[in-house]
Amino acid sequence: MSAPFSLPKLPYADDALAPVISANTIGFHYGKHHNAYVNNLNKLVEGTEYADMSLEDIFQKTFQQPDKVGIFNNAAQVWNHTFYWNSLSPNGGGKPSGKIAELVEKAFGSTDKFLEEFSKAAATQFGSGWAWVVQEGDSISVMKTPNAENPIVHGKKPLLTIDVWEHAYYLDYQNRRPDYIKAVLEKLINWEFANQNLG
Ligand code: MN
């Protein structure tokens, strides 16, 4: 039987996000970590009911099930990382435009205030995890999740994410997580992807 899940292609070259995120970091983060989640998941679901499900179905069905923690963690991490690569763009950063710009203005009053709140969520996630922009009805908000959790398991629709696991920034920024967050928001955050995700 062929493995049901594969590593999605990176949406840009491995050096396209440099100097904010180096090709070296991408080499480990995408080439080793993301790839390992895919390989682990394929091993864990082999011969189970999960082998034919989408990633979203797998992580929603296994969330908070003590005997399915491994499957949950790997399925969610495969999905979260693909979402993260798409949340970044070599042409990202700056001010939002389109529908997301209106929602930022409405929910936060200004782009600066939004960036402050999103940065705070990313900086204050204790230990490994993620910061997210989510849509709730006709508004948006920011949230953070630990480890492999994502907004979908909490009934919310993700629009953008920043990975704040140490492996996302340690090679380039060592322990300076706030510097990584600042640089990502200034140079890489993919507002167009947020517009595409709005429903
Ligand atoms: Mn990661």
Helix ranges restricted to H, the chain: 23-28, 35-45, 55-62, 69-87, 98-108, 111-124, 170-173, 177-187, 191-197
Q: Find the angle CA(96)-CA(102)-CA(105) to the nearest 5 degrees.
A: 85
Kindly state the DSSP code that residue 63 receives in the 8-state scheme. Answer: T
- In angstroms, what is the span from residue 186 Cα to ligand 1's centroid? 20
- In angstroms, what is the span from residue 9 Cα to ligand 1's centroid? 16
Residues in the chain predicted with pLDDT less than 50, given as ranges, are: none
Quick one: pLDDT at residue 135? Answer: 97
CB 140 within 8 A of CB 158: no
How far, in Å, are 86, 134, 142 from residue 107 at the CA level? 23, 12, 10
Quick one: pLDDT at residue 199? Answer: 78
Quick one: pLDDT at residue 93? Answer: 96
- In angstroms, what is the span from residue 16 Cα to ligand 1's centroid? 18
Other CB atoms closer than 10 Å to residue 91's CB: what's the count? Answer: 12
Task: Go through 94-103 and write b for each residue having 16 or more CB atoms within 10 A of its CB, e for each that does not.
Answer: eebeeebbeb
Quick one: pLDDT at residue 3? Answer: 84
Q: Is 102 helix (H, G, I), strand (E, B) or coil?
A: helix
Quick one: pLDDT at residue 1? Answer: 53
Question: Is the preceding omega at residue 19 within 30 degrees of 0, hence cis?
Answer: yes
- In angstroms, what is the span from residue 166 Cα to ligand 1's centroid? 8
> Whole-model pTM?
0.97
- In angstroms, what is the span from residue 6 Cα to ligand 1's centroid? 17
Domains contained in the chain, CATH given: 23-86 (1.10.287.990), 99-197 (3.55.40.20)
Quick one: pLDDT at residue 180? Answer: 98
Return d(Cα 192, Cα 198) in angstroms, integer. 10
- Phi, psi torsion values for 105, nearest 5 degrees: -60, -45
- In angstroms, what is the span from residue 43 Cα to ligand 1's centroid? 20
